[in-house]
Amino acid sequence: MSEKNLIVDGARLHYTGLFDMNLLIKELERLIIEKGYTKREKKSEMFVTEKGRQFNLELRPTKRFEKDFYGTLKIRLKIYNMIDKVVEINNKRYSLNYGDVLFVFDAWTSTDLEFSWEAKPEFVFLRALVDKYFKLIYFFKHEDKIL
């Protein structure tokens, strides 16, 4: 089983106001690729309510730091009460969206060392020693690179 180390747990960013949903999603995807992550879309759904449209997007970008060491982000974008508005700026008309935008971020590192330590009893003992003294160094070595 792979081991996980949670680095960011439920960091939130909330905004209410005007935005361009398509531009927001394109910019998010550009940032993911710019940071070296591979984009993986887990869920995307849109539906209409009495107060406006709702949009939910969940991304799970991953990045390989070493052979068996990965960083994973979980980005949840929730847009609710979204309505379309036409706004005039400098005598130009723009079609924008108005609503509540919520980003929720989680980040963790994980290893892909499945069953390598549980093969023999000697390795279980060695693993206890490694976990106690060296695991922190190994797991936190890439912590600053994950975001």
What is the C-alpha separation between 103 and 80, in angstroms, rounded? Answer: 12
For range 27-42, the mean pLDDT: 91
What is the C-alpha separation between 80 and 59, in angstroms, rounded? Answer: 18
Residue type, 20: D
pTM (2 d.p.)? 0.74
Dump pLDDT digits (tens) for 45-55: 999 989 999 99
> Is 100 within 8 Å of 144 (Cβ atoms)?
no
Dump pLDDT digits (tens) for 103-126: 999 998 887 665 555 566 776 677
What is the C-alpha separation between 28 and 38, in angstroms, rounded? Answer: 13
The pairs formed by 133-140 with CB atoms below 8 angstroms and a separation of 24 or more are: 138/69, 139/3, 139/5, 139/109, 140/5
What is the C-alpha separation between 58 and 47, in angstroms, rounded? Answer: 15
